[in-house]
Amino acid sequence: MDERLLRSEVPKETSNLPKRIWVESRKIWKVAFPSMISRVTQFGVFVVTQAFIGHIGEVDLAAYALVQIIAVRFVNGILLGMSSATETLCGQAFGAGQYHMLGIYLQRSWIINIVTATILAPVFIFSTPIFELLGEEEDLAEVAGYISLWFIPVLYYFPFTFSIQKYLQAQLKNNVVGFLSTGAFVLHILLSWLFVVKLNFGIPGAMASMAISFWSVVIGMFIYVFGGWCPNTWRGFTVAAFQDLLPIVKLSISSGVMLCLELWYNAVLVLLAGYAKNSTVAVSAFSISLNIIAWVFMIFFGFLSAASVRVSNELGRGDAEAVKFSIKVITTTSICLGVFAWILCFVFDRKIAYLFTSDEEVAESVLDLSTLLGVSVLLNSIQPVLSGVAVGAGRQALVAYINIGSYFLIGVPVGVLLAYVADLEIKGLWIGMIIGIMVQCLVLGYITFRTDWNEQVKKASERLNRWFLNSPEESNRNSA
């Protein structure tokens, strides 16, 4: 059923444009909707944890915000970005009919990402001296260091969940991830209430609930993949996974740099907010606003996944015209949803802040950022689609350079000037963030518009042929 939907196509010469849009929209939403559900609920686990910790104490809330938005985003950006190499390779291999290669690419991703996660573990182990070195207040750094140790199980959750999601969505089987993530989100709410409110376990209760909920998703995905629900793409463990690792590592590194620069951008701004006059309130308000943005972004992350899958699948099939048509439909759909989310931000601006804190000063500071929050939401409906198109084409290295320029050479300096020279403080930082994202969208939009997609088809074919390995059945036939 999934393969038939992927390969079904309305003839290009048809004049029935609505029918072509309908067929393309079905393909998009088959990937986008489960991805939205899984991203929203998985990020929701972080948000729910913040909400429970926020009602424990103000310092605890600020410390959790530091760890989540700086340390967790640091490693999350690297590992999620490196997994986007799996997204490119699996999507193009599936489009080309090289189904057995998906399982090999998945295993290569596990090897690379587990090693990377181990290298990154000291970020959590030594987070207290790191935060002190960055100039954070001593009591805040101490609590943050304690909380960060509880994130180590989450660190090793990332390599598995990211790569399996990319593997499943490339073959339009990511519904199971949506179901598992939703179940884990509900489980996390119940466990957090039990551990924090009823049993009064405090921070250990909130963080233990997070670890249990996240790993329940990974276990469920293992059962699905190993249990026979992916017969064409999972042929069991193989030593072939250790072959051709170096080119995969190179693509993974460029993918990691591309995405982690986007996530680090917000982390740098939160760090800078720690130098504001009332740093605890500033960090708390800024992190709450960024978490709202990030939660909404998880919805549009579904379109990033859809854009990546549709572009990579069609490049693998060798159909440049289908790529261009898909980009137009995805972009239009995402912008329409972005306008709707932008309106909701203005309608519920005051109520949102009190979900995360009982502190009036923090809530008012969040409310003061509501206009900028709405603008950011609108921009975040465009940027993920353009990034997804780049991932589908395997152009992560190019996007990495664009991100460096737009975020760190333009966005951060402008934000610092507005915050500390023009004395706008966190408003200035946020305006700098918006300017950086606007520059990124303009440059990516221009590159996407000017791309020769027939040339990208040739590059995808060359990449697939270079890394292709015969399936076990073909190897047996050749040796017979």
pLDDT at 425: 76
Q: Tell me, yes or no, whether 17 lies in a domain.
A: no
Q: Which two tokens stand for residue 102?
A: 């998906």
Tell me if 40 sits within 8 A of 305, measured CB to CB: no
The two tokens of residue 418 are: 């507005």
> What CA–CA distance (Å, rounded) separates 175 from 173?
6
SS (H, E, C) 303-332: HHHHHHHHHHHHHHHCCHHHHHHHHHHHHH
- Whether residue 254 contacts residue 396, with contact meaning beta carbons closer than 8 Å, is answered with yes
In a domain, 13, yes or no: no
**Predicted local confidence at residue 369, as pLDDT:** 72
Comparing CA positions, the residue from 381, 429, 407 lying closest to residue 77 is 407
Phi-psi region of 276 (alpha: psi -120 to 50; beta: other; left: phi over 0): beta
CB-based burial, 326-353: b 16+ in 10 Å, e otherwise: bbebbbebbbebbeebbeebeeebeebb
Whether 356 is covered by a domain: the verdict is yes
Q: Is residue 7 part of a domain?
A: no
In a domain, 234, yes or no: yes
Distance, CA of 444 to CA of 379 (rounded, Å) = 13
- Provide the domain limits for residue 80: 23-470
Q: In 3-state terms, the chain is what percent helix, strand and coil (to 5)?
A: 85, 0, 15
* Residues 286, 266: Cα–Cα separation, whole Å: 10
Residue 3 lies inside a defined structural domain of this protein: no
Tokens of 341: 């989310």
Q: Is residue 475 part of a domain?
A: no
CA distance 214 to 432: 33
Which amino acid makes up residue 245? L
Q: What is the dihedral of CA 428, 429, 432, 438, to 10 degrees?
A: -120
pLDDT at position 267, please? 63
How far is the first Cα of the chain from the last one, in angstroms, to the nearest whole number?
33
The closest of 187, 123, 112 to 155, measured between CA atoms, is: 123
Instruction: Give me the number of domains the chain comprises.
Output: 1
- Other C-beta atoms lying within 10 Å of the C-beta of residue 260: 23
Residues of the chain with pLDDT under 70: 1-15, 255-256, 258-284, 286-287, 291, 349-358, 467, 470-480
| 477 within domain boundaries | no
pLDDT at 36: 87
Per-residue model confidence (pLDDT) at position 261? 67
